[in-house]
Structure 1
Amino acid sequence: MVVQSQGPDTLLQEEQAKSTPTIAAGRAGAQSGQPVAAANTREITGSGYVVAPRSTAVFSKYEGRVIGIPVEAGDRVEAGQVLVTLDDANARFALEQADAAKVSADLALSARAIELTQADTSLRRIELLASREAASKKDLEAARTTWKSASNAVEQARQDINRADIAIRIAREQLDELTVRAPFAGTVAKLGAHVGDTVLARVDSVRENQSLLTLIDTGSMVIDADVAETNIAAVHPGMRGEAVLDGFPESPFAIDISRIAPVASAEKGTITLRFSLVAPPAGIRPNMAARIRIAASNSQQSSGDTSQ
């Protein structure tokens, strides 16, 4: 048997050969841009969509004809900004009629007030004469009855004025509501109204699903994504992950779990997570497909910690 001695150079070559796979793996991870997972963590993945939680279909409170639409789909609007202008001749006539009724009620009150003043003067005179036995009891009762009737007429005239004021407020409110304004700042997502259309009142439009437009708040968008329900013990609000949108595959961004759905899907065996977005790419839109991933602790999964 021939025994060949190993010198220092041979030992060094063997050590380098042993370390080569580890170094190569580290370099591959760095070049790909993906973090090298620690031994006690695993990756949870899922898919979902960008969602705008604050979204509303805008309707007209009253019936009318569309005479102006100063916005278009995609426009950014501020709260209170005019979206659609309607016209209703009946509403204008109702206000004119209410104004006329108020003028008439004011005149009637003035006339009744004069009659009450006259009745009051007459009553005082009859009372004075009666105290001197210069007027009969019948005359005194008649004067009192006249004064009471005049007083009631004044009160009735005041009530007529109140009713006229209410009618004016109702008519003005209806006219004001024909100018449809944005309930909050957002983006016009869909425009269903056209100039010249006759739209129904809200109660009928909702039943017929005929909204003027759809407004969404693009400043508070989130991602709703489904992950396997077996991961429920490993996730909790506040955990950070990463999302990639199909529309922006080269622009991954950070996300944070903000809510975990209280009910799992029996059909899919998944649980829905809602994520807040951290510096997402410009131009994202609701309903864009998203893929998410989260680095979870294996020790947390095994411990069954579901704290939220």
Structure 2
Amino acid sequence: MTSSPDISKLKIERSAKAQIPGRRARRRKWVRLALLAAALAAAAAVAMRKAGGKADVDTVTVAQAYPSQNYTLLNATGYVVAQRKAALSSKATGRLEWLGVLEGSKVKKDEVIARLENRDVSAALGQAQANIKVAQANLEQGQAELLDAQQAYKRAGELLAQKFIAAASYDSALARYNKARAAIAAQRAAIAAAQAYAQSAQVALDQTVIRAPFDGVILTKSANVGDNITPFSSAADSKGAVVTIADMDTLEVEADVSEASIAKIKAEQPAEIQLDAFPELRLAGVVSRMVPTVDRSKATLLVKVRFVERDPRVLPDMSAKVAFLSQAVPAQDKAAVTAVQPAAIAAREGKTFVFVVENEKVRQVPVTSGRKVGELVELKGVKPGDKAVLNPDARLQDGQPVSVVKK
């Protein structure tokens, strides 16, 4: 009898049947995770390799800051103005014959600056002085005549007492004596008149000479030798002022302060003056006075700030900035310090540093931060002018190529 075939070996185990799909599911899961990781890596690589494989960064310039900012209550702008200034001319009218100064010349009080043609006035003075000598000679002659008349009158009195002469002779001697006395008074008056005329001629001569009214510096030269000078410059082709002079010791900054900020300022308040021409120059000042009139059109008050520290480079009409301070700046806070925005400072693993951009790469520079200076932070380890990365990314590394984002 033929036996039936054994088909038990063809039976599929259910456990193996269930295991195959499970492995495939796990495999598909890992593949998906690997693809996701690759996509994230690719995205990160794309983000870090923009602009030719360089990371985009924003930079800020390391600057010099002055700690005096911490004492500033108010800022204002203005101009340097000489409080003692004069346009020099002559009361006389004439042609400018000599000019002894140039722009920038330093002069002393009463020093001769210029001179007009004065030969006619000089001749008049010479004539007046000669008249004085003539009057003095007449006085000497009159005094001699008075002495002779006095002696004759005395002798006539003695002879009359002895009945040697008639009374008429005595009267004649008396009249001569009185006449000589009157002549003396007239001659003295003539001398006084001649001296007054000579003084007038001297004044006229002095008016042809232009002198410095005070110690100062010549600012401008308005006339040249040969120009006609008139007191009020009313004639055609004539000049009024010859030069303009200023006393540099009276330089002050005149600043307009908003009417709403007047309460922050008072007389003798310390201030710091910065000139636009010399930004690195910071000069101590003090509020000299406040002009007691408000400009209605601008709603400002004119405040004058006197220089406590002077510099020969300060000139009239320079633009200036004035910082009104709560107190005088201490000596240790007068020097500039290196400072940067706080957002440029990074910290990792307990170390503080900044990323400085050099040759399209970043260099990690260790720094030490200090006090706050205005909106900046004092920093040691970098120098003014360095380009520091602002808000550096946590993945930014030392030596990494970067591209600076242009704003």
Which category of TM-score, normalised to the shorter sequence, fits these structures?
Answer: 0.7 to 0.9
C-alpha deviation, 1:138, in angstroms: 2.6
Aligned to 2:279: 249
1:89 & 1:37 partners in 2: Cα distance? 63
1:107 & 1:223 partners in 2: Cα distance? 62
Which string of whole-angstrom CA distances, capped at 9 and with x for unpartnered residues, describes residues 165-189 of structure 1? 2323332343344332211111111
1:65 pairs, out of 77, 91, 95, with 95
Matched, 1:33 2:43: no
| Structure of greater Rg | 2
2:128 pairs, out of 94, 98, 104, with 98
1:272 pairs, out of 282, 297, 302, with 302
Unaligned stretches of 5+ residues in structure 1 = 1-27, 298-308
Q: What RMSD, in angstroms, separates the aligned Cα atoms of the two structures?
A: 2.7
Aligned to 2:321: 291
C-alpha deviation, 1:146, in angstroms: 1.5
Aligned to 1:111: 141
What is the letter of the counterpart of residue 33 of structure 1? A
Moved more, 103-112 or 262-271: 103-112
SS of 2:240's partner is: coil
**Distance change in 2, residues 1:148/1:248 (3 Å):** same
What is the letter of the counterpart of residue 223 of structure 2? A
What is the letter of the counterpart of residue 152 of structure 1? A
Which string of whole-angstrom CA distances, capped at 9 and with x for unpartnered residues, describes residues 51-90 of structure 1? 1101011121333332111111121222222210222222
SS of 1:264's partner is: strand
Aligned to 2:85: 55
2:208 pairs, out of 169, 178, 192, with 178
More helix by share: 1
1:179 & 1:42 partners in 2: Cα distance? 50
Aligned to 2:108: 78
Give the TM-score normalised by the residue count of structure 1.
Answer: 0.76
Percentage identity across paired residues of the two chains: 27
SS of 1:225's partner is: strand
More strand by share: 2
Aligned to 1:144: 174
Matched, 1:134 2:164: yes
Give the TM-score normalised by the residue count of structure 2.
Answer: 0.59
Unaligned stretches of 5+ residues in structure 2 = 1-59, 328-407
Q: Pick 1 or 2: higher relative contact order, CA cutoff 8 A, min separation 6.
A: 1
SS of 2:294's partner is: coil
Aligned to 2:75: 45
Q: How many correspondences in the alignment?
A: 265
Aligned to 1:196: 226
What is the letter of the counterpart of residue 241 of structure 2? S
Retained in 2: the 8 A contact 1:241–1:255?
yes
SS of 1:107's partner is: helix
C-alpha deviation, 1:245, in angstroms: 2.0
2:161 & 2:279 partners in 1: Cα distance? 104
